[in-house]
Amino acid sequence: MSDENRDIPSHFNPFFHDQTAGTTSTGNSTFPFLHGHNYHSMYSPQVGFDFPPPNYMNLFGTTHDHSSHAAASLDHYSAMSCSSPEAICPIDGGSRKPSGGGGGGGGVAESSDQNPLTPAHSSLSNSSSSEGAAHDQVKDSGKSKTDDHCEDDDEKLNKVNKPKKKGEKRERQPRFAFMTKSEIDNLEDGYRWRKYGQKAVKNSPFPRSYYRCTSQKCTVKKRVERSYEDPSTVITTYEGQHNHHSPATLRGNAAGIFFPPSSSFLQGSTSSLGPSFPQHLLTQMLPVNLNDDHHPNSMYYHQQQQQQQQLFQLPDYGLLQDIFPSFTQKEEP
DNA sequence: CGGCTTTGACCTGCGC
DNA sequence: GCGCAGGTCAAAGCCG
């Protein structure tokens, strides 16, 4: 299995987990995405969320049963609209290679080598982030294009080719990915998304869709793809933080609880591993024998993965909470 | 008519 | 340098 997994292209393994995180486990998080039994009391089904927790997958599709404390909630969720996060993990989109495999992870360049939190905070705290800049560039590009219809193809090419300076790289914002068992690709999360692209994914019969938050000045993106190993599993990757309330919230919907504006982000808080550190989540997300170097979640394995892909970093759970402020910890009885 | 999706072209970055 | 693959753009079309 491990050998198989090692061959899995990185883009099918959006989750990364490090032993440092995986070895800590106390308390019980109330992360709505993962703990349906908690989320149930927090979120209204009408929001459209459905994130039953009992079974989650690691990044390689292995289902782990946490029915001991959550199985009962499955039935609840089966009546709900869409999917269930099988796992969630922050992905550092910033400082490492783009999703590796053979490809280049696309036109997205790496960010600095800083803590993934740092660029994210700074970039969000002022709208001149590189991501925002990229966004502006896109707008500018589009604008100038419409303004100058009669430009020749060379000009067109220049516009498509972003006018960024040599050596200037676009920053990636922190990313979170989770797997959901769902027939629906695009999960309802309370925000409005505009699809801006779709690509065939190597080694997968399922295309990957690219969405962008429709809110102005909001640079949050998400990628949705279906696992080639388990077609019933949808891999959703969020990139960036919303700088606005969800439309659903404004309508009195509870969806905003899931993705409220990242206030601490905007304030530049580092909010590292504090009391709210959802350590239970760590084990929820990434159980496994970390000493088993044949296991995808093992130390050895991830060392290899990191070497190979340099994509996923230690999950920063302060960041997690920044992105999902409703992400809290509660003590285990 | 505005907002959204579709889709082909193009860009970037990486490995060989 | 070339080819590949991921990511993005933007025109065209669809839909309410």
pLDDT in tens, A262-276: 433 333 333 333 333
Q: Are A175 and A92 in contact (CB under 8 A)?
A: yes
The structure tokens listed for A225 are 């793809």
pLDDT band, residue A38 (cuts 50/70/90): very low
Can you tell me the distance from the alpha carbon of A204 to that of A9, in angstroms, rounded to the nearest whole number? 10
Nearest-CA residue relative to C1' of B5: A195
Average pLDDT over residues A61-73: 34
The span from the first CA to the last CA of chain A, in angstroms, equals 36
Average pLDDT over residues A226-252: 74
Half-sphere exposure of A291 (CA within 13 A, CB side): 1
Torsion of CA A10, A58, A261, A269, to 10 degrees: -80
Closest CA to A102 of A237, A8, A222, A235: A8
Q: What's the burial of A24, exposed, middle or buried (CB within 10 Å: 0-12/13-18/19+)?
A: middle
Lowest mean pLDDT among A6-10, A198-202, A215-219, A327-331: A6-10
The answer to whether the beta carbon of residue A194 comes closer than 7 angstroms to any atom of strand B is yes
> Does residue A152 sit in helix, strand or coil?
coil
For position A98, what pLDDT does the model report?
Answer: 34
The spacing between the Cα labelled CA in A154 and the C1' in B9, in angstroms, equals 14
The answer to whether the beta carbon of residue A196 comes closer than 7 angstroms to any atom of strand C is yes
Average pLDDT of the residues of chain A = 47
For position A210, what pLDDT does the model report?
Answer: 92
Nearest-CA residue relative to C1' of C10: A142
The answer to whether the beta carbon of residue A101 comes closer than 7 angstroms to any atom of strand B is no
The answer to whether the beta carbon of residue A142 comes closer than 7 angstroms to any atom of strand B is no
Output the DSSP codes for A11-51: GG------HHHHT---SEE--TTT-HHHHHHHS-GGG----
Nearest-CA residue relative to C1' of C6: A106
Question: Given a cut of 70, is residue A226 above it in pLDDT?
Answer: yes
The answer to whether the beta carbon of residue A260 comes closer than 7 angstroms to any atom of strand C is no
The answer to whether the beta carbon of residue A222 comes closer than 7 angstroms to any atom of strand C is no
